[in-house]
Structure 1
Amino acid sequence: MEQTPYTIQGAACLVIGNGRLGSLLAHKLQVLGAHVTVSARSAQDFAKIATAGLPALDTRKLAGALRQFDLIFNTVPAPVLGSAELADVSPQGLIIDLASLPGGVAADALPPDGCRILHALSLPGRVAPLSAARAVRDTVLTMLEEEGVL
């Protein structure tokens, strides 16, 4: 909130990635009154996003679709925001990169003048390691149960 002149309520937010962090973040932003869109790549993730009642974008096709967002949260630990994608971000936009290293913003990509990028790489694991560890454990257990291993 210190980084923007507006509140989350009513803000147009994009969450890139629908994994553990992305899906939880999208839900929390929605509860706070944000207008949330989630980007993903797999049919399974698109189905989960639709079930949550949220609009979706294809992460592979973000170029030309980002100007509408006030806040962009990246949770994908791979460069998904390159020069073509950043060229379309609003000059007043804020990108918050929460992914693990290397993060989602390409090292050579420059945002438009005025647009800011906050590199908070691996933030959940650094500020809440016990909660992050529990989330990883729960995800691994769920995956093993789905595969019939447990």
Structure 2
Amino acid sequence: MGFEEELFHELATSTWDKRSRMQQEMVKGAKGEPFAVQELYRKGPLTPSQLAASMKTTTGRVSALLSALEKKGQITRESDPDDRRVVHVDLTEAGRERAEKQRDDMRDAVCWIFSQMGERRAREFVELSKEFTTYMTLCMPGKPRPTPEEVAKAFSENTQEVA
């Protein structure tokens, strides 16, 4: 077994098999209200179909989710004046406050973790995570591996995004 197989096993057991409580909350949040609130906060008004596509779920699931958020006073739904069939969903002030609190809570937790790791290791971790994520966007299970040209292009695009 090469180092790649050994590290895959270690990564799978330490990260994917034994999810931390924070990871569990993030995954749970990616399927429901927290994700929807963050998506609307970052992108502004969206249609239910756009939200469903972002969440990789059905419009029926999003409809139920939006009903719950509307009852809590965190979103509004308004018909498009140019096309009454189109509905735009947006955050209310209460929804924006929720989104900001969620972001602040996550930032505080991650900053605490970084403080425990120390600056050098935290910076190294972030750089390696960016590199790993770039490779993950290129390499899908069961698909052909990317060419060196595709890899170079992805990394040059990531460098341009940061600049």
TM-score by length of 2: 0.27
Instruction: Report which of the two has the higher share of helix.
Output: 2
- The structure showing larger relative contact order (alpha-carbon pairs under 8 Å, at least 6 residues apart) is 1
